[in-house]
Amino acid sequence: MKKIILFLVFLWMVCVSYSQNSWIRVNLIGYLEQDAKVAVWVSKQKSLPDNFQLIDMTTGKVAFNGTKVKNTGKQPAFESSARIDFSGFTTPGTYRIKINGILSAPFRIGNDIYADAAEMPLKYMRQQRCEYNPFLKDSCHVHDGISVGDPEGKRDGRYYNTTGGWHDASDYLQYVTTSANAVYQMLFAYTRHPEVFGDRYLANGEEGANGIPDILDEAKWGLDWLVKMNPDSNTYFNQLADDRDHVGFTLPNEQKVDYGWGAGKERPVYFVSPKPQGLFKHKNRSTGMASTLGKYASSFALGAQLLSNYYPEFSTILKDKAQQAYRKGAANPGVSQTAPGGAPYFYEEDNWADDMQLAAAELFATSGDRHALREAVNYGRLEPVTPWMGADSARHYQWYPFVNLGHFHLAQQNENPRIKQEFIRNLRSGLQRVKERAQNDAFMNGIPFIWCSNNLTVGFITQCRLYHELTGDSTFIEIETAMRDWLFGCNPWGTSMIVGYPQQADTPADPHSAFTHLKQFPITGGLVDGPIYTSIFNSLRGIYLANDDEYAPFQSDYVVYHDDYADYSTNEPTMDGTASMCYYLGYLASRAQTFEEVRGGIVRGNSTEKKLALVFTGHEYADGSNIIRKVLKKHNLKAAFFLTGDFYREHSSVARALQKDGHYLGPHSDKHLLYADWKKRDSTLVSRDVFEKDLADNYAAMKKAGVAIEPPRYLLPPYEWYNDDISRWAKAKGVQVVNFTPGTTSNADYTTPDMQSYRSSEEIYRNILLHEQKNGLNGFLLLMHIGTSPERTDKLYNRLDELVVELKKRRYTFERIDTLLKFKKK
């Protein structure tokens, strides 16, 4: 019923919009409880409100009266505007803003509102797959491709198997430039927030679970194609097909373009070239190979790290290819632009140092080679600030990628504090330039409205968020939030820029896509190009509006946006722009993960619900396994067991039985190493290489024991002791550190009577219940050991049944750790 009411309200607002002269723009998804919450008032009249109300849509009553109204003056298409600040209101719910009888669209406040955000880009990416397309359940472009444009003049006309990958946008061309960046963006997103990415799809993109996070499945689809585009150490392709593809709308599996080898047959595949390319009238301005080869190298290097536990042989191939591509890129500085055809449009990338910087940074992360770190620094100094930041304009994809993640990697390394601070300053400088350009703009938008302006916006908020995480500096929080809100509807047109997100709100309904235009197939999750300078719109070839412009009142001589399939400049979803959202939407989804962290490790789930997880660790002993299994079966509970490699090798049958019972199994260090000093926690006692080998060996022991490795990947460190280094290194491998919730002394059940720290089972049992009485156990990761030394005859696991019964009486429910931490499986 609530959804129907929301939809009717939306329809009413659309119907009356033409008779209005004032509007209130909001984030159509909503605001986190502690957000800087701002709406924007725009009007065709020279009027300014001095107060506003928040209307609770459940009760219809006024929930908040506000007076924080900032006059932002005349704006394009509007005579007056104001920023409406209701940051002080934090109560979760669904609301509308009311000003002088004008109502905003409905929006929500709450920390759970972005729970499904991380899945959105992947919906679109799967639909963009070439060769086998899981959305259509059919194949396309299976004959690719014939080589052209060899700078050496020797290999043209040869067939290379280059099937796979993703279509670049609503046409079906494919570029390494955008595809490699898309791969990297997805892999990077996973390193930052692995806990939010689920396993709901198979490797081929169809529904199901395969034990691998979906975002890694998607990234591997792209990596498989990149490997085909790099068949040997001397052959690197840059582009598949050209604008002869633009022969009209058709679904990819029905396309029959003839490139000279028969209708629907092979397409041309262009080499990476340091020389200008173009088979027809127009040519690009290529000068080198580093821009493309740097992208190859960074995606290969990070892919090698994150896929090593799933595809070890493929990971080794990627590692070798990363080194080869990097060396060849270093020997061929300059840009290799994409090839135009009959029209003058191509990706006019003019920078390459950022690509080599990121590649070198990833090679340093992979190998620890300080020479790679020095080279990353040198490349980074060639472009301290991404040039579009603060600029009024740029050519199409002139400064690409739109965010410099190499700067972030150098800013977070601890090898050289001086370099760290240098690249933090670089990140800040770019953000400051955009912020200064946004002065006096009602929406705080300092992004130039060039073609694909939304991609720049995503790059900007990514840099804002990473800068804040690095420094804790809140200087750019307001503009970060404003530009996030811009993408989700707080813009002059009042529309989200992501197709179908949120549901039952104003989102692109008529995008430039054959899927929707011909078949009305939804392309949920696709990020459209976004607003563009009116002057650019008027200069583009073959562009027009097929329907009446529903946003006509909001267009200006300065900037336009159209929800019309014939406008390929503002309303076409792009594959790389969509992939670039994975990090930020992953961050937003993580805000719905209500857990506590200590030094990067999760130590508690949602403290507002009477739910907890039973967690067991094991190294030498397994004497409690039978009793624990029986108790868990009796009460139909699923627990988590973190076991060392030695345990998996010695007690493999126990481990298999636990997994068969439905419990979560994970690593606890292969050899039970002490990772951090007991007295000086910041002092890491193992190198990164030792840690990564220890973790890999633990996973190898699991596999050898016949235990499947489930996502999300959690690690409970040995001795329950770790630091920031361990959490960061684990996250780089796609693993999230977890630890017990302190306060109950349950973890002391391993102690023996000869220890000063000895705690009897009776004392531990009482401590657990006393802590529950005083503080509660909501969200607890309650840790015990699966076995203890024979010198401890007083075994806590003998009281597990009693404890479960008592906690159930106190209305607690028990969940598996991944469920407690909000990882949802279908």
How confident is the model over 28-69, as pLDDT tens digits? 999 999 999 999 999 999 989 999 999 999 999 999 999 999
Residue 796 scores a pLDDT above 60: yes
pLDDT confidence of residue 272: 97
Q: With bands split at pLDDT 50, 70 and 90, how would you rate the model's confidence at 18?
A: very low
Q: In terms of domains, do 73 and 139 share one?
A: no
**Can you give the CATH number for the domain in which 44 is found?**
2.60.40.10
From its phi and psi, is residue 248 left (phi > 0), alpha (psi between -120 and 50) or beta?
A: left
The verdict on residue 546 lying in a domain is: no
Q: In terms of domains, do 622 and 584 share one?
A: no
pLDDT confidence of residue 6: 44
**52 near 69, Cβ under 8 Å?**
yes
Q: In terms of domains, do 192 and 264 share one?
A: yes
- Residue 623 domain boundaries: 596-820
Average pLDDT over residues 587-610: 87
The verdict on residue 488 lying in a domain is: no
Residue 2 scores a pLDDT above 70: no
Q: In terms of domains, do 41 and 126 share one?
A: no
Indicate the residue among 559, 589, 619 that finishes a domain: 589
Question: Which phi and psi (to 5°) does residue 782 adopt?
Answer: -90, 110
Residue 541 scores a pLDDT above 80: yes
Tokens standing for 64? 């908040």
> In terms of Cα–Cα distance, which of 459, 567, 465 is closest to 512?
567
How far apart CA 109 and CA 91 sit, in angstroms, is: 7
pLDDT confidence of residue 300: 98
Q: In terms of domains, do 584 and 632 share one?
A: no
Q: With bands split at pLDDT 50, 70 and 90, how would you rate the model's confidence at 825?
A: very low
Q: In terms of domains, do 600 and 618 share one?
A: yes
pLDDT confidence of residue 147: 97
The verdict on residue 174 lying in a domain is: yes
The verdict on residue 90 lying in a domain is: yes
Q: In terms of domains, do 381 and 398 share one?
A: yes
Question: What is the share, in percent, of the chain residues with pLDDT greater than 90?
Answer: 88
Average pLDDT over residues 302-317: 94
Question: Which phi and psi (to 5°) does residue 399 adopt?
Answer: -120, 95
19 Cβ contact partners less than 8 Å away, ≥ 6 residues apart: none
The verdict on residue 228 lying in a domain is: yes
How far apart CA 343 and CA 74 sit, in angstroms, is: 38
Q: In terms of domains, do 203 and 78 share one?
A: no
> In terms of Cα–Cα distance, which of 372, 556, 441, 516 is closest to 38?
441
Indicate the residue among 109, 138, 162 that finishes a domain: 109
73-to-26, 40, 434, 480, 783 alpha-carbon distances in Å: 18, 12, 20, 21, 59
pLDDT confidence of residue 593: 67
How far apart CA 497 and CA 480 sit, in angstroms, is: 16
pLDDT confidence of residue 16: 44
Q: In terms of domains, do 8 and 149 share one?
A: no
Mapping DSSP to helix (H, G, I), strand (E, B) and coil, where does residue 274 land? coil
Q: What angle do CA 583, 361, 715 make, to 5 degrees?
A: 60
Question: What is the share, in percent, of the chain residues with pLDDT greater than 70?
Answer: 97
The distance in angstroms from the start CA to the end CA of the chain is 25
Q: With bands split at pLDDT 50, 70 and 90, how would you rate the model's confidence at 772?
A: very high
Residue 749 burial class via C-beta count within 10 angstroms: exposed 0-12, middle 13-18, buried 19 and up = buried
pLDDT confidence of residue 13: 47
Residue 588 burial class via C-beta count within 10 angstroms: exposed 0-12, middle 13-18, buried 19 and up = buried
pLDDT confidence of residue 138: 97
Indicate the residue among 109, 136, 159 that finishes a domain: 109
Q: In terms of domains, do 269 and 396 share one?
A: yes
The verdict on residue 280 lying in a domain is: yes
The one-character DSSP state at 304 is H
pLDDT confidence of residue 413: 85
> In terms of Cα–Cα distance, which of 644, 614, 615, 770 is closest to 705?
644
pLDDT in tens, 462-481: 999 999 999 999 999 999 99
pLDDT confidence of residue 342: 87
Domains of the chain: total: 3
Q: With bands split at pLDDT 50, 70 and 90, how would you rate the model's confidence at 288?
A: very high
pLDDT confidence of residue 99: 97
The verdict on residue 504 lying in a domain is: no
Residue 643 scores a pLDDT above 50: yes
Q: In terms of domains, do 139 and 100 share one?
A: no
What does pLDDT average to over the chain? 94
pTM of the predicted model, to two decimals?
Answer: 0.82
2-to-14, 504, 542, 627 alpha-carbon distances in Å: 19, 11, 43, 48
pLDDT in tens, 425-448: 999 999 999 999 999 999 999 999
Q: In terms of domains, do 722 and 770 share one?
A: yes
The verdict on residue 507 lying in a domain is: no
**Can you give the CATH number for the domain in which 815 is found?**
3.20.20.370
H or E element: which one contains 55?
strand 52-56
pLDDT confidence of residue 4: 46
pLDDT in tens, 88-106: 999 999 999 999 999 999 9
Residue 387 scores a pLDDT above 80: yes
Average pLDDT over residues 759-767: 97
Residue 171 scores a pLDDT above 70: yes
